[in-house]
Structure 1
């Protein structure tokens, strides 16, 4: 690819400047060359070289407004806002119609969290600028800082009206639509944008994402197809397309798209996991387990991988293998509540009740407060005859589920078991109030309690 004259001149200027630094010879550059050199070093994070270039530039062009504005930018970059403001006021006295002065003043206001004032200054800059797109983009960013998503959206749309190719504004306008929960409006906007700029793979990709978000999977795939036709290495579009195919239960097509992402980049644990899931849905269990194994090999810290391989063996009722893999997962991360719950469920299936009780206890300890976890744990404590522990566990559960009949009926049964009839009747009354028909839990879980005439009479009294 041939370089344009501008690019050649730019590269020559950089080479000439770096050669000058090595030889300590002072060479002449015009002020615009210096501006480009300084901004280049700032862009790549070499602030020291930018400062050297600025010092030499101001020595050679002490009256250049452009260079002084670059100096302001560097002062702002270093958080020397008062100095930057002082210099801007001097420049304003000389060139009150220079839009860059207002942009930099706005930048300083923004740094000071004075975003409304920054917007006012940027609106003045609009009166003097030729680059409307850039200023509208900056205004949009200020509105984002103020959490005014509606006005931010309007500004980014104006930016795109001036410059269709501004990708950051395109991403930001979609972000605003989504944040405002205006997905259908965003779809309409992107279709209009695509009519004006049909070869924007970013727009097609964003349109696909929005269709996916509102469960229009066929439309999503169509949009992702266009994105990948424009850029056949667009990894994100292939990944999203695969997910949409999965939603439509087109598992072979999904596998094909996931495989394309692996061709474009190194295999990701996410893609391998999804391919495994697709093969399992297709009934190809050998391929499924092969990909699940690859997933945990690729990323041993991905809990979804270990869960997939454990659940696979659970579904096959191969509890020994399921336990083997969940133990491997726990050896890597023994504070993962999802692992502990599976450890508990597997041990319960194998009638290892003490291990199951330990697993549920650890799951709750590490943040699993789901109702079924509490109930499984308590039922095992009851089975083991640990009635007091079961009661304490249920009382703890009531902090998360204060009006849950299944907890109340269990508390009633347990209090009857330890002969505390007053508390038992209190909780039985609560259970009957919350869901009368569920008193069957007493019969199922506490046959000894159910056999007591007093309990049946109490329930009958509430029925009336």
Structure 2
């Protein structure tokens, strides 16, 4: 993790810099006190000029050889310029001068962490804890090391300790959410944020993370309430509006979602994802002209957003403009060629255009990328069946059953194909399995082949299961 530097530049500091630059121009030696040198160093750090900052440190150490602060700054600059051995050497010298300075161990811990030498990083942070006046940031650094070690349980422990000391630390709240997410412990996450909110009801970050946890558990109503609290406390919280919009979409409240998505623009510039999300809402409301307009805005802002290209295709497909829709499906697939939804739409468009072989090829892609899509197995086999390719239709359903052994729909469909192939005994075996799996769905069989309602053998088997 790189060190960050912030510096509030005063008139005194400005004068020190001017005097220093005059000294360099005149190739002279002026004396500066330690504070002036610190100001000059910080000025160059602020200007992202580590080379000049390191030169100043050389002068500072000549004039103040026992000031550990300059060695620590030198180490920081060596670290950010990838001179790791030199950084360690500067810290060693600083430690000899002032062994109780916690910053030495924090920086050394950060360097070890970046080198993936985690146990040495942890040792240094533990030493830093013994010397530092405030430890919430150090505890958070320890948590980052555990995250890098993929030990998220330990990371959570240290983040919580950090938050106990500093309730205002938003980074800690977001890191905690990240760890709970990785461990898929949303219930624990909810419990923590609710307790946290009891202590600090005005923490918008806590409300927001609570909302995200509800969202992940599909508790969308509760998520929306929590997003609303986050927005109430911080009314320019664009991410909360956006996620609230997503939760409304999950509840099919598309018109409301559109309004909430649009509210994000009061606080941040419109972006491609929001345009795309609004397009999808209009699409669900079957307002295809508006949907297409927003999808087009989206791809104009980000031509690599596959979902928006796909959305344009969907709106054209809805208007039975199948040939035009193919162009946009292909654009989407160029950007995301393993997306089964894109291939499914492509397969359907080819089918409607009578381009059967292209449709069949696209169905193979759908099922390669999502063999659990029961609709796709059924639709693909229908295409084959309608072409008189009965055996292929039956074999396709067999493959579908291997991938989805609990899908009654596939067994009922296989019954129809086997009857069509004249394999009546095998058909009845599949019918029994279908009825054991889900007797309620037996109507599917007659929807597909109504003539089977007159088949005594089939009716007899069904009656055994549904009476």
Q: Distance in 2 between matches of 1:73 and 1:236?
A: 34
Q: Report the equivalent of 1:222.
A: 228
Q: Report the equivalent of 1:185.
A: 191
Pick aligned residue for 2:258 from 255, 259, 283: 255
1:255: Cα distance to partner? Answer: 3.5
Pick aligned residue for 1:124 from 114, 124, 127: 127
CA contact under 8 A between 1:306 and 1:326: conserved in structure 2?
Answer: no
Going from structure 1 to structure 2, the CA distance change for 1:91 and 1:375 (only over 3 Å counts) comes to same
TM-score normalised by the chain length of structure 1: 0.75
Going from structure 1 to structure 2, the CA distance change for 1:413 and 1:18 (only over 3 Å counts) comes to farther
Q: Report the equivalent of 1:134.
A: 137
Q: Distance in 2 between matches of 1:286 and 1:340?
A: 24
Query: For each residue in 1:242-278, what CA deviation from the matched residue of structure 2 results, as whole angstroms up to 9, or x when unmatched?
Result: 4455566665554343223234444323322333444
1:324: Cα distance to partner? Answer: 1.6
Question: Over the residues paired in the alignment, what is the CA RMSD in angstroms?
Answer: 4.5
Going from structure 1 to structure 2, the CA distance change for 1:202 and 1:19 (only over 3 Å counts) comes to farther
Q: Report the equivalent of 2:57.
A: 54
Q: Distance in 2 between matches of 1:148 and 1:30?
A: 46
Query: For each residue in 1:31-64, what CA deviation from the matched residue of structure 2 results, as whole angstroms up to 9, or x when unmatched?
Result: 4444455466557754433433333333443332
1:122: Cα distance to partner? Answer: 2.4
Q: Report the equivalent of 1:328.
A: 328
Structure 1: segments with no counterpart, 5+ residues:
none
Q: Report the equivalent of 1:401.
A: 404
Q: Report the equivalent of 1:341.
A: 344
Going from structure 1 to structure 2, the CA distance change for 1:120 and 1:396 (only over 3 Å counts) comes to same
CA contact under 8 A between 1:412 and 1:428: conserved in structure 2?
Answer: yes
Q: Report the equivalent of 1:305.
A: 308
Q: Distance in 2 between matches of 1:426 and 1:25?
A: 100
Matches within 5 A, 1:107-186: 107-178=110-181, 179=183, 180-181=185-186, 182-186=188-192
Query: For each residue in 1:330-383, what CA deviation from the matched residue of structure 2 results, as whole angstroms up to 9, or x when unmatched?
Result: 146443543331132244456654453343234345x24323223322221222
Q: Distance in 2 between matches of 1:19 and 1:282?
A: 69
Q: Distance in 1 between matches of 2:430 and 2:382?
A: 19
CA contact under 8 A between 1:140 and 1:152: conserved in structure 2?
Answer: yes
Matches within 5 A, 1:8-407: 8-14=11-17, 27-35=30-38, 37-38=40-41, 46-77=49-80, 84-85=87-88, 87-178=90-181, 179=183, 180-181=185-186, 182-195=188-201, 198=202, 201-210=204-213, 212-213=215-216, 214-215=219-220, 216-229=222-235, 232=236, 234-244=237-247, 246=249, 254-279=257-282, 287-312=290-315, 314=317, 318-319=319-320, 321-331=321-331, 333-334=333-334, 335=337, 337-349=340-352, 353-364=356-367, 367-369=369-371, 370-387=373-390, 389-390=392-393, 393-394=396-397, 396-397=399-400, 400-401=403-404, 407=410
1:384: Cα distance to partner? Answer: 1.4
Going from structure 1 to structure 2, the CA distance change for 1:308 and 1:417 (only over 3 Å counts) comes to same
Indicate the SS of the match to 2:99: coil
Indicate the SS of the match to 1:191: helix
